[in-house]
Amino acid sequence: MPRFAANLSLLYNEHPFLDRFAAAAADGFQGVEYLFPYAFAAADLAQRLADHGLQQVLFNAPPGDWDAGERGIACLPGREAEFRAGFAQALDYAQALNCPRLHVMAGLAPAGVERTRLQATYEANLAWAAEQAATLGREVLIEPINPRDFPGYFLTHQAEAHRIAQAIGAPNLKVQFDLYHCQIVEGDVAMKIRQYLPTGRVGHFQLAGVPQRHEPDVGELNYPYLFNVIDEVAEACGWQGWIGCEYRPARGAVAGGTRDGLGWLRDTRRA
Ligand SMILES: O=C(O)C(=O)[C@@H](O)CO
Ligand SMILES: [Mg+2]
């Protein structure tokens, strides 16, 4: 069975952020991920992980001005210095939290800038970030994201992400395979797992039900089937990663909403 990490940005919103670690551990999670740690001291986060026996499996590098609508800056010409400073900060947190992988968000393609220029900026930033991360034994991840949730996002397709990772050629530059985004953008999810997992370039999976991004047992994807495919292929190729549970609980605003929606996880553990 795959290992599941609780995404504390989306799950357990019925609790204040720092209390979500305890809630996730109480539900049997051994790993956590979230969008950004930067509003908290790394030492406080590390203490929560230690207190609850949790591993930090992923978080994101600074994305630019999130509240103003930015969704990463890696493809944006002219923002290279900010990208480098942000990535250095992310690496400091990764060290303190013993987190093996960092997601670098591409950003929204600005109108009027040629794609080739964005592509060159993106690849140069990723090559630099992968080199920095390698010195500390960390991985850099890139994630294709569906353009309904993030209109204009630069990276949307699995094939494109793998082409970029392959072209840059850094062994620690990998793809974050979010099954929810993949289903929305291109479908054929099981075959894409079979195609890409054996390449060694998949660094992490994430899941959510499609289309509402609720629990994985709500919606059009058959997750028990996909978990079996991941298990089968992972065993054959020796992959040992995590699946981040990155969904908004259908009863998320209700006390106990996240736990009440974890029946799918209890069923998976029993299977
Ligand atoms: O939205 C997603 O999917 C993510 O994995 C985030 O890191 C980016 O918002
Ligand atoms: Mg994701």
- Report the SS3 class of residue 259: helix
Token pair listed for 232: 């089968």
CA distance 101 to 112: 33
Q: Provide the pLDDT for residue 259.
A: 97
The catalytically annotated residue of 82, 143, 215, 232 is: 143
pLDDT band of residue 256 (cuts 50, 70, 90) is confident
pLDDT of residue 253: 78
Outline where DSSP puts E strands in 179-228. Answer: 202-207
- For ligand 1, atom 1, name the residue with the nearest CA: 145
pLDDT at 1 over 80: no
Pocket of ligand 1 (CB under 6 A): 35, 60, 103, 105, 143, 145, 178, 181, 206, 246
Q: What is the mean pLDDT of the chain?
A: 97
ipTM value, please give it: 0.98
Work out the average pLDDT over 249-263: 91
CA-35 nearest atom, ligand 1: 7
Q: Which residue has the tokens 């987190």?
A: 99
CB 59 within 8 A of CB 105: no
High-pLDDT (> 70) share of the chain, %: 100
Q: What is the pLDDT of residue 266?
A: 95
Residue 183 has pLDDT above 80, yes or no: yes
pLDDT tens figures, 6-44: 999 999 999 999 999 999 999 999 999 999 999 999 999
User: Whose CA is closest to 206, among 36, 40, 35, 90?
Assistant: 35
Concerning whether 139 is annotated as a catalytic residue, the answer is: no
For the CA of 60, the nearest atom of ligand 1: 7
Residues of the domain holding 117? 3-270
- Of 158, 154, 244, nearest to 201 by C-alpha is 158
pLDDT digits (tens, 9 = 90+) for 115-141: 999 999 999 999 999 999 999 999 999
pLDDT of residue 226: 98
CB 222 within 8 A of CB 195: no
Q: Taking 90 as the threshold, does the pLDDT of residue 209 lie above it? A: yes
For residues 232-243, give the mean pLDDT: 97
Cα 248–Cα 265–Cα 148 angle in degrees, nearest 5 = 30
Q: Cβ–Cβ contacts within 10 Å for residue 225, how many?
A: 10
Banded pLDDT at 148 (limits 50, 70, 90): very high
| Strand-pair partners of 5 | 31, 244
Please state the atom number of ligand 1 nearest to the C-alpha of residue 181. 3
- pLDDT (0 to 100) of residue 217: 97
* pLDDT tens track for 219-232: 999 999 999 999 99
Separation of CA 179 and ligand 2 centre (Å): 8
CA–CA dist 56, 201 (Å, integer): 20
| pLDDT value at residue 254 | 85
- The helix (run of H) or strand (run of E) holding residue 4 is strand 3-7
Report DSSP letters for 116-148, one per residue.
HHHHHHHHHHHHHHHHHHHHTT-EEEE----TT
Percent of the chain with pLDDT over 90: 96
User: How many structural domains compose the chain?
Assistant: 1
What pLDDT does residue 245 have? 98
CATH number reported for the structural domain that contains residue 129 in this entry: 3.20.20.150
What is the C-alpha separation between 186 and 136, in angstroms, rounded? 35
